[in-house]
Amino acid sequence: MATYIGNPDPPNVRLTRPAGSPTVIGTGSVDDAVGAGSFVLTGATGSVTSAQGTITLGNNVNVSGAGSFTQTGTHGETVVDGYTTELITISTTTTVTTSTTNLLPAKAVINAVLVNPVVAIATATSFKVGDPTSDARFVSFTTSIGANQASLGLNQWNPALATTLALSAAQAAATTVKITTAGSLPTAGQVRVTVYSAVYGGPTS
């Protein structure tokens, strides 16, 4: 018998499958029709826990959610795969705009930085994306300033560009993301910046 137990009140779920017959409570569900011993688990919140500390995902498995995915070791070590995001309004009084939150987490590897002008950056000709000390750490000057012309920042993985530790994918301390425009001073613009990262935590025992 396989069991999932969570808060029985919506939006969490409490689910038990005795002998292949699913029980559904709250907003979650278990569907055993996908194959012997298999589950499809849905619910607004909640988690799946194995008493042995191992959950095996087979081929063609999608894990989705609005937060992060955490792996915890037997001695408390962790790695959190996730993202941070902010809709940044481009300054119309200066060429530099900084995120209001620390989009770059501490003790992390920055996998990618996706920047998408939701509202076109008017009158500027290009922009670059970095951090407070390295203007183009993630994206060199790009002319993709129109609405929904997304750019993927991977400069931190390019050996020709990431010539120092500060320019690499390694992120020691939490900090902001900086956008620098070129050409005429912007008169409008909003850019969605999403940082994809892996955050590492050391063992506790």
Q: What is the pLDDT of residues 140-159, one digit of tens each?
A: 999 999 999 999 999 999 99
Question: Is residue 87 predicted with pLDDT exceeding 70?
Answer: yes
Joined together, the tokens standing for residue 75 give 């001695």
Please, what is the average pLDDT of the chain?
80
Name the residue with higher pLDDT: 84 or 22: 84
d(CA 70, CA 54): 13
Q: Which residue has the higher pLDDT, 55 or 89?
A: 89
What pLDDT is recorded for position 46? 52
pLDDT tens-digit readout, 168-187:
999 999 999 999 999 999 99
Question: Distance (Å, rounded) from C-alpha 181 to C-alpha 121?
Answer: 9
Whole-angstrom distance, CA of residue 76 vs CA of residue 71: 10
Per-residue pLDDT tens over the stretch 124-140: 999 999 999 999 999 99
- Distance (Å, whole) CA 133 – CA 144: 23
Where are the domains positioned within the chain? 1-64, 82-201
At the topology level of CATH, where does 82-201 sit? Jelly Rolls (2.60.120)
Structure tokens at 100: 């209001």
Name the pTM for this structure: 0.74
